[in-house]
Structure formats: structure tokens, C-alpha cells
């Protein structure tokens, strides 16, 4: 067709003119026919001369042959074809470079989407999943493609947010709980995609796991409520006695002395609580800094035992230190190690039955015998196993009234845990109801050539 057009279009005006000459009888029938035939032959020759080799040149350009390679067409290229050949070659090269670049960009974008740690899900206007990244597969399954989002994520709040964005909203955020396989709190950001997107993608859903964040928020709120409550109780007592001393008991000397004694006790309790709270926050602030000092455990224990002797004697409790002579030094901060054993021995003396023995033992162990352990064992009432995992939580006590009565703040073991976190050590608790408890602290031993030579020490 196109070839015929190339011939007919230059031929037509001449043919019309010949027809006119024939109609006006200026030309006879035969000469008119001959003239038309000659004109047709001439325009065919003209067309061939102009277009010969154009399509060959184009094909060779597309095949990637350079402008310098001799054309392989049987007939030589017309001047027009020869003139456009280099341009076609360049155009083809440019186009191929562009295509490669686009391919590269697409691959890079795909790699980035795949590497995004947060789940991403693209849905079309009918809420069908068009695409999702690796992280999202956990939520929607492997064969989610082209299925309704509800097949994988059946949460009503999320689906309502997605529907709202697909209908009219630009974006929506929603928080929801997934209960299988483990309970998790997720936050979803749903946003409408403005402009063209892959396979009819209309909205993108980003999911964030905020379980830890929520837990942290809850812990913080509980902690503030607990600390407030713990401070308020002695404060209320103090205010009550101050009122009494200012009013009815103003001139009662006996009552005044007794009340002042109680007030001192309550004030001391508040001071202990504030001291423990400050200590806890200081340790937490430094938790990422591992102490590197060398500390003699036996001197720490001796220091703590000296401070507790009076209270132990009041309950007729004997503290027996049975540490091996050759215990290595440990890596740590002296004052914090004192705080650890102060809390453990204080608990042992407090919670042991009267007239029993508290034993401090120790040794070395762990991988490559690189750790030193020290245990504090009492003969107390013991702790039921369900409480043991929670003992290091702030303000967690087995018996709150008893702990308060004995002057406890409920923060001692939390402080121990945080100090050990900072020391990269650990606490082990073993207990038997009716028999007693054993708290074992594991610390990193300071390197020592002499001890490595005799590991049994
Ligand atoms: N040696 C122990 N024997 C029995 N119970 C203990 C012992 N040490 C700790 N506990 C329990 O663990 C709880 C938390 O200890 P801690 O944080 O030191 O708080 P506090 O001593 O102020 O009560 C205590 O209230 C107590 O119930
Ligand atoms: Mg304590």
C-alpha cells in the first residue's frame, strides 16, 4: 500500500493534466495513453531512486550496526537513505541507552522496596493486592497477589481505613492488634497514590510493629503510677502526724516523741525510695558503658557484711562467707558491685528465718572459665516459682505489705538487674518454698596469667 502510494502520489497531478488534455481534445487517445504510461514509468523510477535502501538502513540501525559499516542491501542506498542512516543509528543507540537506564532504575527501586524493613502493600481500586515487599509476606501470605487485602489481613479497622482512602481520603492512620501467631500492636499508614502506579495501584499501606513502643509506654506509665503511690503513702502519714502535732497532741509530750519517731521512719522510707529511684535512673543512663575496673569480690563482700552485721545479729542470723581463696578479680565498678551485694544480702537477712545462716559462696565457671560467680543463699521461706521471673521488675514484691514493713522499696532487685546489664553479667535465682533462696551473680573475670595457669583455683 505504502509502496503504491509512493508511486501514485507524484503520478496523480500529471495524470489529471493528461486527462484534461485528452478531454479538451488537445491530445488524441493513443498519445494520451503513451504519455500516461511514460509518466507512470518516470514516477516509479523517481520513487525507487529516492526511497531505495531506506528500510534496509532503518533495519540495520535497529540491529545496532554502526554508521560506518557498509550497508548490506543488494541495491546501493539512495542519497536520502544514506543521509538518514547515521541519524537512525544514533536514535537507536540513544533509545537503547535510555531503555537500559530505565531498567536499571526500576531494578534499583525494586531492590530498595524489597529492602525496606517495614511491610509495604500496594492495593488497587478494588482493594486487591497488586504488590507487596518481602516484609509484608509475613502478614498477607505468599500467594496474596491479586487477592482482596481482607484475605490476608482481616482486621476491620485496617480495612475501613483502606476503604476510606480508596473512596475519598488522601491518607489515614490506624492502630490495631493482631493476635496470631503472637499478639502484636501494629500501626498502619494508608496513603492514596497520586499519579500513575504499577498495575493500577491506588493506595499504599505501610505497617509498623509498635508492640515494643506500646509496652515501653505502658511500663513507663505503670512506673510513674507506682512511684507516685509509694511516695504518697509515707507523705500522707507525715502530713497526718504534723496535723496531729499542731492540733490535739500539741502539748502531749509522750505522744509527740512517739509521733516524731514514726515521722522519722516515714521520712527515712521516702529518702530510701528517692535514693533508689535516682540510683536506678543513673544506672540506666550509663547502661551502655561497660565498666572496665578490676575489683576484688572478697573485699566488696567483706565491706557489705560489715555494714549488715548489726541487723543480722538482731535476728540472730550468721553471715558465713565461704569464698575460695583464689577467686579472681572481676571487671566492674566497685561501688555498683557493693550495691549489688548490699541488696542481695539485705534481702537474705530480711527474708531468712531468725536464727539461721546466710552463706556467701563463689567460684569460676562459664565458657572458657572466664566468669566468676558469687551466690548468696539463705534459709528463708523461699519464693514460689511463678514469682521468680518477675522479681527484678520495679516495685514487684511477693508480699507488698511485708516488704514495706521490713523497710523495702521494691526496687532492690531491679537495681541489681540493671547494674548487671551494664556489667554484661547476669543474675540467677533459685528458690524452694519452705527451704530458702539462692541468688547467684555472674561477672566477667579480669584477665590474669597466673589464674589461667591454674584454672582449678
Ligand atoms: N532472699 C529472699 N527470700 C525471699 N524473697 C525474696 C528474697 N529476696 C527478694 N525476695 C522477694 O523479692 C521481692 C523484691 O525484692 P527487692 O527488689 O529487693 O525489694 P524489697 O527488698 O524492697 O522488697 C521482695 O519483696 C521479696 O518478695
Ligand atoms: Mg531488697
Rg (CA), the chain: 45
Strand, helix or coil at 373?
Answer: strand
Residue with CA at minimum distance from ligand 1 atom 25: 397
Provide the β-strand partners of residue 257.
Answer: none
pTM of the predicted model, to two decimals?
Answer: 0.69
Hey, do 214-283 and 290-453 end up sharing a CATH topology, with the first three levels equal? Answer: no
Of all ligands present, the nearest one to the C-alpha of 415 is: 1
Cα distance between residue 321 and residue 339, in whole Å: 17
Which single residue is written with the C-alpha cell 544506672? 283
Residue 456: per-residue pLDDT: 43
CA 32 to CA 16: how far, in whole Å?
11
Output the CA 406–ligand 2 centroid distance in Å: 9
CATH topology of domain 116-209: Beta-Lactamase (3.30.450)
Report pLDDT for 454.
47
Cis peptide before 181 (omega within 30 of 0): yes
Question: How far away, in angstroms, is 65 Cα from ligand 2 center?
Answer: 86
Ligand nearest to the CA of 409: 1
Note the pLDDT of residue 64: 67
Which residue's C-alpha comes closest to atom 8 of ligand 1? 347
pLDDT mean values, one per 10 residues, the chain (457 residues): 70 88 87 89 82 74 65 66 81 90 88 86 92 88 86 91 93 91 91 80 92 92 93 94 91 91 94 95 93 95 96 96 94 97 97 97 93 97 96 94 90 97 97 97 85 45
Nearest CA to ligand 1 atom 27: 398
Ligand nearest to the CA of 342: 2
> How confident is the model at residue 424, as a pLDDT?
96
For the chain, the domains span 2-93, 116-209, 214-283, 290-453
Distance from the alpha carbon of residue 428 to the mean position of ligand 2, in angstroms: 16
Burial 52-61 (b: 16+ CB within 10 A, else e): bbbebbbebb
Distance CA 382, CA 348 (A): 10
Q: What letter would DSSP give residue 151?
A: G
Our measurement of the distance from residue 61's CA atom to the centroid of its chain's CA atoms, rounded to an integer in Å, reads 52
Cell numbers placing 51: 526511497
Question: Ligand 2 center to residue 18 CA distance, Å?
Answer: 121
- Sheet containing 371-377: order of strands: 318-322, 357-365, 371-377, 436-444, 426-432
CATH code for 290-453? Answer: 3.30.565.10
Residue nearest to atom 18 of ligand 1 (CA): 412
Ligand 1 interacting residues, C-beta cut-off 6 A: 343, 347-348, 351, 378, 380, 383, 391, 397-399, 403, 408-414, 437
pLDDT in the model for residue 453: 45
Query: Looking at ligand 1, which atom is closest to the CA of residue 380?
Result: 3
Q: What is the best residue among 283, 312, 391 to mutate for testing ligand 1's pocket, by most ligand atoms within 8 Å of CB?
A: 391
Ligand 2 centroid–CA 262 distance in Å is: 21
Contact call for residues 423 and 336 (beta carbons, < 8 A): yes
Q: Kindly give, in sequence order, each residue whose CB lies less than 8 Å from that of residue 300, ignoring residues fewer than 6 positions away.
A: 334, 337, 338, 341
Judge: domain 214-283, CATH 3.30.70.370: no
Amino acid at each position: 500500500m505504502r509502496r503504491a502510494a509512493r508511486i501514485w502520489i507524484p503520478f496523480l497531478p500529471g495524470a489529471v493534466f493528461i486527462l484534461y488534455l485528452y478531454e479538451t481534445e488537445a491530445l488524441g487517445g493513443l498519445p494520451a495513453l503513451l504519455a500516461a504510461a511514460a509518466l507512470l514509468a518516470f514516477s516509479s523510477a523517481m520513487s525507487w531512486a529516492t526511497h531505495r535502501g531506506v528500510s534496509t538502513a532503518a533495519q540495520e540501525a535497529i540491529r545496532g550496526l554502526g554508521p560506518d559499516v557498509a550497508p548490506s542491501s543488494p541495491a546501493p542506498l539512495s542519497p536520502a537513505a544514506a543521509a538518514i542512516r547515521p541519524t537512525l543509528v544514533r536514535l537507536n543507540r540513544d533509545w537503547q541507552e535510555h531503555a537500559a537506564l530505565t531498567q536499571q532504575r526500576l531494578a534499583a527501586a525494586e531492590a530498595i522496596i524489597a529492602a525496606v524493613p517495614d511491610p509495604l502493600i500496594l492495593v488497587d481500586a478494588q482493594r486487591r493486592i497488586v504488590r507487596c515487599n518481602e516484609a509484608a509476606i509475613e502478614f498477607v501470605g505468599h500467594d496474596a497477589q491479586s487477592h482482596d487485602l481482607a484475605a490476608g489481613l482481616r482486621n476491620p479497622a485496617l480495612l475501613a481505613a483502606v476503604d476510606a482512602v480508596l473512596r475519598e481520603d488522601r491518607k489515614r492512620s490506624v492502630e490495631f492488634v493482631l493476635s496470631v501467631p503472637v499478639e502484636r500492636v501494629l500501626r498502619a499508614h494508608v496513603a492514596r497514590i497520586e499519579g500513575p502506579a504499577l498495575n493500577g495501584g491506588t493506595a499504599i499501606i505501610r505497617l509498623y510493629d509498635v508492640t515494643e513502643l506500646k509496652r515501653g509506654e505502658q511500663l513507663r506509665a505503670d512506673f510513674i503510677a507506682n512511684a507516685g503511690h509509694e511516695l504518697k503513702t509515707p507523705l500522707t502519714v507525715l502530713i497526718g502526724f504534723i496535723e496531729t502535732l499542731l492540733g490535739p497532741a500539741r502539748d502531749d509530750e509522750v505522744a509527740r516523741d512517739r509521733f516524731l519517731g514514726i515521722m522519722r521512719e516515714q521520712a527515712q522510707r521516702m529518702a530510701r525510695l528517692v535514693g533508689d529511684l535516682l540510683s536506678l535512673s543513673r544506672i540506666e543512663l550509663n547502661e551502655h558503658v561497660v565498666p572496665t575496673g578490676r575489683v576484688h569480690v572478697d573485699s566488696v563482700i567483706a565491706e557489705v557484711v560489715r555494714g549488715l552485721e548489726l541487723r543480722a545479729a538482731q535476728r540472730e542470723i550468721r553471715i558465713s562467707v565461704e569464698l575460695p581463696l583464689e577467686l579472681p578479680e572481676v571487671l566492674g565498678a566497685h561501688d555498683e558491685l557493693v550495691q549489688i551485694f548490699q541488696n542481695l544480702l539485705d534481702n537474705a537477712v530480711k527474708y531468712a528465718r531468725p536464727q539461721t545462716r546466710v552463706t556467701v559462696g563463689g567460684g569460676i565457671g562459664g565458657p572458657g572459665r572466664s566468669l566468676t560467680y558469687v551466690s548468696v543463699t539463705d534459709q528463708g521461706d523461699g519464693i514460689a516459682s511463678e514469682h521468680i521471673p518477675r522479681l527484678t521488675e520495679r516495685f514487684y514484691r511477693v508480699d507488698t505489705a511485708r516488704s514495706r514493713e521490713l523497710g523495702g522499696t521494691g526496687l532492690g532487685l531491679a537495681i541489681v538487674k540493671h547494674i548487671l546489664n551494664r556489667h554484661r553479667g547476669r543474675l540467677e535465682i533459685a528458690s524452694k518454698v519452705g527451704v530458702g533462696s539462692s541468688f547467684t551473680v555472674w561477672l566477667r573475670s579480669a584477665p590474669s596469667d597466673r589464674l589461667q595457669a591454674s584454672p582449678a583455683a
